[in-house]
Amino acid sequence: AASIASLGAQLHGGTGAIYLLDGGPQDDAQTRSLKDALSSLRIVTKDVAWRDVAPCMEEVVAEVRRRQSSDSGIADAVAPMFVVIYGLQRYRMLRKREDEFGLSVSADESRADPGRDFAEIVREGPAVGVHVIAWCDTPTAADRTLDRATLREFDHRVLFQMSATDSSNLIDSPIANRLGLYRALYHSEEQGVMEKFRPYGVIDTSDAETEL
């Protein structure tokens, strides 16, 4: 929600777009927080329903390819697009395709494949101003969707407490194993930055009182 609000503030001139894939449970008291953040923005936004995930991936990857082939590809980057995914583990259609031996299956180019499109967006999108922000509940679930090469395309990573092995797989350091309760770790591989911080939850306004 903070990321969406921050992006909205930076794109207040009306350029850019944000696509939201909200995989949060419907019975969660805070499940509306992302949609509320999205609805308050004055830019192009799209709340992608479950049935529309595949068409959304096709639309975004087509835009990536258009920008790559356009002579004005660099200029297009000034109108960035963001695909925000909350609950990546729930979107099974975005998972990498593997055979029983763990080798990637060669996809039929004539057949829609949201997982293949998603991987291409992550890999090729940033160079032309198309970015992905994703949250996943466990490293194991992330590994089901992203192969190691695709995971490395996410330069900015936030880790909560996890095993030393999972931490090492994600940032080549076991340090996330030593995080305490209500602590997180920000890591940027490109900038060589690793910083601890205290994350906060969304404010519950259901019983809030307004004071003048």
Average pLDDT of the segment spanning 149-165: 93
| pLDDT exceeds 60 at position 80 | yes
Stronger pLDDT, 173 or 70, i.e. the higher one: 173
Q: How confident is the model at residue 90 (pLDDT cuts 50, 70, 90)?
A: very high
Taken in order 159, 17, 145, 118, is the CA torsion positive or negative?
A: negative
| pLDDT exceeds 70 at position 99 | no
Question: Count of CB atoms within 10 A of residue 33's CB?
Answer: 21
From residue 28, alpha-carbon distances to 5, 42, 79, 164, 185 in Å are: 20, 26, 33, 30, 25
- pLDDT value at position 143? 92
Residue written as token pair 């019983």: 207
Average model confidence (pLDDT) for the chain?
A: 84
pTM of the model: 0.84
| pLDDT tens by residue, 17-47 | 999 999 988 777 666 788 888 887 878 888 9
End-to-end CA distance of the chain: 26
- pLDDT value at position 197? 93
Cross-strand pairs, 185: 159, 196
- pLDDT value at position 160? 94
- pLDDT value at position 37? 82
Average pLDDT of the segment spanning 59-74: 83
Average pLDDT of the segment spanning 111-134: 92
